[in-house]
Amino acid sequence: MTEREYVGAIHLHSTFSDGRQPVEEIVAEAQRAGLDYIVVSDHNSDGTARIGLTGRHGGLLVLSAPEVGGRGNPHFLAFGLRDLDALVGMPSADALEAAAAQGAANVIAHPHAAHIALLPRKPVDWEHWDTHAFRGMEIWSYMHDVCHNAVPWRLPLVFTWHRLLVTGPRPETLALWDRLCLTRRVAAFGSLDNHATRKMVIREMYPHRDLFQTIHTHVVCPPLPDDAAAAAAALTDALLDGRSFIAMDTWASAAGFRFRVEGAAGSLGLGQEAPWQPGLRLVVESPREAELTVLRNGEPIERQRDCRRLELPAEGPGVYRIQGRRGRRPWVFTNPIYLRDA
């Protein structure tokens, strides 16, 4: 089946919570950036859907997944939540279970929160992992990456060249994700967690137009239907199934990056699962030369530099994923392909 690639930005805040731009302005900025979709995630608010701003806006598809959780508690994004008010005041772990009971598909937000220098507020990590009430987790959050590296002597960069503070997903987050994937599929999300815009004396901090050029989640799936509701459902399903890769497109566009498993019976794509059998091959294709690393169950098994195509046998069952770097910069992190014991 023909597949298409949809490039978008996830986890945006508007004036429905603590963001500084209304949704209408965020939509306009996303359209100018050429994005295919955005996911608005206001704190404990589904205002974007309530006033009818989800759906198609020209070539842009707008989704809403409220960020559930109060101050001092860990948070999650809830896709398809029916009754947000019913979760108000619940501890995050209870709210997660209650949201899942409503039929929502939950994604853990910034599971390891940024440790911000000189900020008295203690970061809150997600600790409730012994549950199947979530389908995915953010493995790379732009604002948490930048803020986690905002030690005092780097503060000028926070206000100006914040992209230089980006170091990639936290090692502990990747390790946790790899462990979870050993027993079930857990989709990885790239996010912005942007609240733009704070005006300074000479410039704005973190305007959406800037961050829309940074971390994208590239969804690779069959063409979306023309109907807006059906398209939103199909895109949400693809995200939750892990049919995507995450890229810092600032360094170079990752559009066209592909990872698949090929065998006599056909091929498997991102997020898919099948029994391992002899003769399967891993195939990676990159639109740019990069250092490509193949990981199996979280451990590197192959690394090639200045590489645009990598191919090797899948020599046993495992959870296989790809990381790509451009020089010393983190660039691409794919969702896995799951080859299980037969």
- Are residues 242 and 263 located together in one domain of the fold? no
Same domain for 185 and 274? no
**Torsion sign, CA atoms 147, 213, 61, 19:** positive
The pTM of the whole model exceeds 0.85: yes
Rounded distance between C-alpha atoms, residue 277 and residue 107, angstroms? 31
Residues 139 and 83 in one domain: yes
Residues 161 and 44 in one domain: yes
33 and 118 share one domain: yes
> For the segment 272-328, what is each residue's pLDDT rounded down to a tens digit?
999 999 999 999 999 999 999 999 999 999 999 999 999 999 999 999 999 999 999
Mean pLDDT for all residues in the chain = 93
Average pLDDT over residues 43-56: 95
Same domain, 174 and 288: no
Check whether 172 has a pLDDT greater than 70: yes
Q: Is residue 156 part of a domain?
A: yes
Residue 332 counted as domain residue? yes
**Given a cut of 70, is residue 199 above it in pLDDT?**
no
Taking 60 as the threshold, does the pLDDT of residue 202 lie above it?
A: no
Last residue of a domain, one of 248, 277, 296: 248
The CATH number linked to 265 is: 2.60.40
Whether residue 38 lies inside any domain: the answer is yes
Rounded to an integer, the average pLDDT of 25-37 is 98
Domain count, the chain: 2
Domain span holding position 328? 258-340
The β-bridge partners of 334 are 245
**Same structural domain, 239 and 267:** no
Segment 329-342 shows an average pLDDT of 97
Cis peptide bond upstream of 48, omega within 30: no
Are residues 196 and 331 located together in one domain of the fold? no
Count of CB atoms within 10 A of residue 124's CB? 16
What is the chain's percent helix, strand, coil content, to nearest 5? 20, 35, 40
In a domain, 23, yes or no: yes
For residue range 85-144, list pLDDT tens digits in order. Answer: 999 889 999 999 999 999 999 999 999 988 776 665 667 899 999 999 999 999 999 988
Please indicate, yes or no, if residue 219 is contained in any of the structural domains.
yes
Q: For residue 145, is pLDDT > 70?
A: yes
User: 82 and 26 in one domain?
Assistant: yes
Give the pLDDT score at 331: 98
Say whether both 9 and 33 belong to one domain. Answer: yes
Evaluate whether residue 253 is within a structural domain: no
CATH of residue 163's domain is 3.20.20.140
Residues 71 and 31 in one domain: yes
Residue 273 lies in a domain: yes
CA distance 277 to 263: 9
116 and 34 belong to one structural domain: yes
Helices and strands in the chain, H and E counts: 8, 21
Looking at 199, 215, 248, the residue that finishes a domain is 248
- Among 10-24, 49-63, 108-122, 298-312, which is the least confidently predicted range? 108-122
Considering 204, 227, 248, which residue would you say is the last residue of a domain?
248
CA distance 267 to 186: 20
**Residue 298 falls within a domain, yes or no?**
yes
